[in-house]
Amino acid sequence: MSTTVQRVFGVPTVLTGGECAQVVSDLTLLWRLTYGSAPAKLEADLALCKQFFDPLARGHSLRDRLGKLPETPSDLLRRISQYGEPLAVQAGDKVLLVGLEARLILDLLEKHPVDDDHLVLVPSDVASAEHTAMEIYRTWSTARLHQVVALRRGQGREVMQAIAVGVVIALLVNRSDTEERAVVRWHHSTADGQQVDSAIFAGAEAFAAEVSRNRSSRAVGEQRLKGGYALSEARRRLADQLVVTPDDKNGGERLYIPAEHRQAVIAFLGRDLGRRPRLTPSILSSAFDLLVGAYRRAAGELAHRGMVFERSTDTRSLKDELLREFSKAQRSSGQSR
């Protein structure tokens, strides 16, 4: 009657003393070939594996790293290949690559004593190693998801570009919160597109210059609603809270923030602006006023197209709401001045 051999990452959980010593020697050498140095502290070594096994790694970077791996000696290749994946990955005709599983096996084998010329890996230790690998892979595989969620909550590692914040505020000032009050965007190469872009970006640029204290103007190619960085950045952060729909009548696209998302967008902007350590309520207030002034001076470009919907009372309310959310964010992050 055949007996199923229990394994962890392809390695039997019961090994003779000689087999254990050989696996440790082989994996140590293969680790050195893969990462350029001998195994060190477990946590640091597991982090090293990300350079080959990170699901977000760029293809050209990964190809470059794989191309630099040395050939695996034939006897080592033969011995390790018997265990298969996931212990080692075939990275070329004569190249093996090791990662989390190999380093965790090394840790298990080196921690357990060899009794009566045998080593037995107990189920609890096997389960712990497998759980560690699973948790690390899960962390890597969900990293992009958490990045996107953080961006949408205004909690990403980088704050939103000030010019992108300015574009969103300009839309709010214009009360573009329904499809009927949307700003119609055209391609920047058209006269219509250039005029609408300049009207919206006049306010956005004034806001960004005051917030960042950078008076240099951005390239004309960035100052556009269609294909420009600022709106792309805003849509990346706000997702479905910033709507773009086809406008068959005018041959362009309608851009607006649905009324039901208005408060959430203002709260998002307040949180994002509140993460700028040098930004104060007085500077933000000044930046908002500069945006509104520039928007009103340029509004003629929108007025003759029936796209101007600003009302001074609503604009004052918007400013108060934004400053309130900004101050709330600063208090919650311990940055209140």
Q: What is the pLDDT along the chain (337 residues), one digit of tens a residue?
A: 445 778 999 999 999 989 999 999 999 999 999 999 999 999 999 999 999 999 888 888 899 999 999 999 999 999 999 999 999 999 988 999 999 999 999 999 988 776 668 888 889 999 999 999 999 999 888 877 766 666 655 555 556 788 899 999 999 999 999 999 988 776 555 555 566 777 788 889 999 999 987 655 544 445 556 556 788 888 888 888 999 888 777 667 888 999 999 999 999 999 999 988 889 999 999 999 999 999 898 887 677 667 888 999 999 999 999 999 999 988 887 644 4
The answer, as to whether pTM is greater than 0.75, is no
3-state secondary structure the chain: CCCCCCEECCEECEEEHHHHHHHHHHHHHHHHHHHCCCCCCHHHHHHHCHHHHCCCCCHHHHHHHHHCCCCCCHHHHHHHHCCCCCCEEEEECCEEEECHHHHHHHHHHHHCCCECCEEECCHHHHHHHHHHHHHHHHHHHCHHHHHHHHHHCCCCCCCCCHHHHHHHHHHHHCCCCCCCCCEEECCCCCHHHHHHHHHHHHHHHHHHHHHHCCCCCCCHHHCCCCCCHHHHHHHHHHHHHCEEEEECCCCEEEEECCHHHHHHHHHHHHHHHHCCCCCCHHHHHHHHHHHHHHHHHHCHHHHCCCCCCCCHHHHHHHHHHHHHHHHHHHHHCCCCC
